[in-house]
Structure 1
């Protein structure tokens, strides 16, 4: 916006920019110290200009053309709007509604085996071979007779452990919040709508001065701000009580969140150095402030450490696999009681919290199969949280191979550290607060 004004006025003088992400004295002072050349933001200016021109060229013209054509076909409304983001977003919703409407359930069977080894028992999921009879194209077992035959073949038979790994792993704290990630969490955890979250965040930033700039799409922090950690910590612990978990906090620790190269404009949403009586906050403001503070404090906590064990057992020519985890050090998860360690392919039929000690070659007695009848279910209607996630990861819904290749390059660039190259649908001010989303009777 300022660049447009300067260009309109024909400015030829050097321009410096000051970025201030909060209203508290420390943040303002740091912002004034960190002024920089406006030329470094040319790319962001051009991106905004491209969006604006797309809205004019496509949005206005196509809205007019579609409306006229619709009226020729008998449409009785005043107009039909086409939007660069809105139409794509509504397209996702329509595709999901059609998938639900046209869904045909499939009955199938899930198989898990009960094994006994020298030092304990465990369960493992069946791992069918691709040529296994009775499977559909997605590898689901449809034939109950095959399940019964497999049970007869393995029950009471002794197999052996053919694969075993026991690895100590670590899990980093989640990055501080961007606005979309905070909206997703607030929807899932508290049921708050996206527009209510934005309104509360604006109040926390502008009225209460307790958090930084609220509409950032960044999850990283400039390294220069690490020096403010003691003052921010003092304010947070004055405003909130987190208790025993904070005994392991180390304000000299630098998590992966501190990365100046990934904070081109606004950094992640974090607490400020302001001390306040948060009882004056509304319920949603208190909930959001606590989550923002918790995520910030997690950056100074130890890594979560755990053991991950993966096992494959072979019996009567059939394979069964499982995995288990054992926490070793809670680390940052002490701030999140009840949170489980992430496990890929988690399934109640084959995941064990703790697996007994074993080794490759050990005998494993199969006590039989648990055969569970299941039915596929249609995808869920979008919620605020899942629709925001779809917007962030819109590449998952693209079918055009040419466009998929573009998104793949964006994702590869993001992984390589070029954060601004990442692409999604919409911007951090949340299209959900401005787009009318049709609701069906099932929503």
Structure 2
């Protein structure tokens, strides 16, 4: 039975008591033939998302592995945003499959692929500058590959082989029951053809294409008008949870679909015209640079913002932090390409915008932005003052004393600190903490 959501606990408990052990009448039973086509091809972002979810690889690790496979001539160009292939390559499918089988001799099921089948991946209209990532006709030795390369190569090969299997087909049954005047819906399926899903049966928990919840299997004897026993009705108390922290894979997905995180309708429309933040060739580097600068940090598989990163956003607090600026820049770049905009004029406007926004950020007081972060986190200033520790370390830029401050990501088990100049905001020098002293190499 499908679950019912109720915010009235008394009503839910009363229904459970009233409906349990009562007769249920099957008022409607329908059956529908359904099918599910095989997944599309893999773009650079798809590989990064898959590798992050399945093996916990960073975006840069995945990009390095795919680049190495490309240089070894085992896969096609990896920095692509496309999930489709040109029609002209369909004629080479037999040769590619033959090479894939030889490079992956243990994958017996792969050899059942039918080169004559043509999936939706072959579509000239949806191929961009580069097509989806696929294996090449080059015979290689998997034993010499690094673990990351071997895993990613196998995933790329498996996706390609999947294109030559039939659709997954099943019969979807929907039953409507009435119990004491209340209606309940139950769904179930009967698989009639496994098709391409036969390749993923051992990867249910890891594979993106098998995350949908399977419906229950219906008894064959169900017929309309029959009465059955509603054995038990139960209720569960649950509560909403905050969004999970980003992994590198989900962060890349968010960068691509950034419009989902914008509420302004005009900005949403603008962002839909773009490929999001960055490209398949630059997203990994963007994340790495933010980590290197200390604005983001990795905690196991999660990527979270640091205190310094939050303060940077707090201080900027303008157009430079809004995703829509990406769409505006791309629109003007297209105008340059079409001869409607001058390159020098565009660059001058960017320099002017950045200078104005930085002036605003520099004129804002540290206390204003700092207290805003504290209020948002529910931390009192008196508690923070206890974490400030003046020492004899001098600022190398202005000679004033440096102050050690506790990072907002700090915990009792894992205390974290950073150092800032006491002359702030006139002097904005900052350092990471290393062994209770400023790490002057981190400036």
TM-score under structure 2 length normalisation: 0.61
SS of the residue 1:373 aligns to: coil
Q: Deviation at 1:352?
A: 4.2
Q: Counterpart of 2:139?
A: 275
SS of the residue 1:300 aligns to: coil
Cα deviations across residues 238-273 of structure 1 (Å, max 9, x unaligned)? 111254423531112110000111113100000010
Q: Structure 2: which 5+ residue stretches go unaligned?
A: 297-303, 307-408, 412-443
Do structure 1's residue 393 and structure 2's residue 257 form an aligned pair? yes
Cα deviations across residues 115-156 of structure 1 (Å, max 9, x unaligned)? xxxxxxxxx1344xxxxxxxxxxxx43443222210222122
Q: Counterpart of 1:328?
A: 192
Do structure 1's residue 232 and structure 2's residue 96 form an aligned pair? yes
The answer on whether the counterparts of 1:248 and 1:302 sit within 8 Å (CA) in structure 2 is no
The answer on whether the counterparts of 2:82 and 2:131 sit within 8 Å (CA) in structure 1 is yes
Do structure 1's residue 197 and structure 2's residue 49 form an aligned pair? no
Q: Please show how residues 294-309 of structure 1 align to structure 2 within 5 Å.
A: 294-309=158-173
Q: Deviation at 1:333?
A: 1.4
Q: Counterpart of 1:355?
A: 218
SS of the residue 1:434 aligns to: helix
Cα deviations across residues 360-390 of structure 1 (Å, max 9, x unaligned)? 4332321221222223222111111111121
Q: Counterpart of 2:2?
A: 125
Higher relative contact order (CA 8 A, sep 6+): 1
Q: Counterpart of 2:376?
A: none
User: Structure 1's 373 and 275: CA in aligned 2 closer, same or farther, altered over 3 A?
Assistant: same
Q: Counterpart of 1:369?
A: 233
Do structure 1's residue 177 and structure 2's residue 42 form an aligned pair? yes
Distance (Å, rounded) in 1 between the aligned partners of 2:229 and 2:79: 57
Distance (Å, rounded) in 1 between the aligned partners of 2:111 and 2:157: 16
Q: Structure 1: which 5+ residue stretches go unaligned?
A: 1-123, 128-139, 411-420
The answer on whether the counterparts of 2:86 and 2:124 sit within 8 Å (CA) in structure 1 is yes
User: Structure 1's 205 and 432: CA in aligned 2 closer, same or farther, altered over 3 A?
Assistant: closer
The answer on whether the counterparts of 1:333 and 1:339 sit within 8 Å (CA) in structure 2 is no
Between 1:275-284 and 1:147-156, the stretch displaced more is: 147-156
Q: Deviation at 1:339?
A: 5.1
Q: Please show how residues 35-46 of structure 1 align to structure 2 within 5 Å.
A: none
Distance (Å, rounded) in 2 between the aligned partners of 1:284 and 1:389: 21
Q: Counterpart of 1:82?
A: none
Q: Over alpha carbons, which structure has the higher Rg?
A: 2
User: Structure 1's 163 and 426: CA in aligned 2 closer, same or farther, altered over 3 A?
Assistant: farther
Q: Deviation at 1:289?
A: 0.4
Cα deviations across residues 78-109 of structure 1 (Å, max 9, x unaligned)? xxxxxxxxxxxxxxxxxxxxxxxxxxxxxxxx
User: Structure 1's 167 and 422: CA in aligned 2 closer, same or farther, altered over 3 A?
Assistant: farther
Q: Please show how residues 148-167 of structure 1 align to structure 2 within 5 Å.
A: 148-167=13-32
User: Structure 1's 307 and 343: CA in aligned 2 closer, same or farther, altered over 3 A?
Assistant: farther
Q: Size of the alignment, in residue pairs?
A: 290
User: Structure 1's 242 and 330: CA in aligned 2 closer, same or farther, altered over 3 A?
Assistant: farther
The answer on whether the counterparts of 2:63 and 2:284 sit within 8 Å (CA) in structure 1 is no
Distance (Å, rounded) in 2 between the aligned partners of 1:247 and 1:307: 28
User: Structure 1's 352 and 224: CA in aligned 2 closer, same or farther, altered over 3 A?
Assistant: closer
Aligned CA RMSD, in angstroms, stands at 2.4
Q: Deviation at 1:158?
A: 1.7
User: Structure 1's 305 and 247: CA in aligned 2 closer, same or farther, altered over 3 A?
Assistant: farther
User: Structure 1's 442 and 393: CA in aligned 2 closer, same or farther, altered over 3 A?
Assistant: farther
Distance (Å, rounded) in 2 between the aligned partners of 1:316 and 1:186: 50
User: Structure 1's 198 and 247: CA in aligned 2 closer, same or farther, altered over 3 A?
Assistant: closer
User: Structure 1's 329 and 368: CA in aligned 2 closer, same or farther, altered over 3 A?
Assistant: same
User: Structure 1's 362 and 147: CA in aligned 2 closer, same or farther, altered over 3 A?
Assistant: same
Q: Please show how residues 243-254 of structure 1 align to structure 2 within 5 Å.
A: 243-254=107-118
Cα deviations across residues 364-420 of structure 1 (Å, max 9, x unaligned)? 32122122222322211111111112122222212002223445xx4xxxxxxxxxx
Do structure 1's residue 213 and structure 2's residue 213 form an aligned pair? no
The answer on whether the counterparts of 2:101 and 2:111 sit within 8 Å (CA) in structure 1 is no
Q: Please show how residues 422-441 of structure 1 align to structure 2 within 5 Å.
A: 423-435=275-287, 436=290, 437-438=295-296, 439=304, 441=409
SS of the residue 1:323 aligns to: strand
Q: Counterpart of 1:6?
A: none
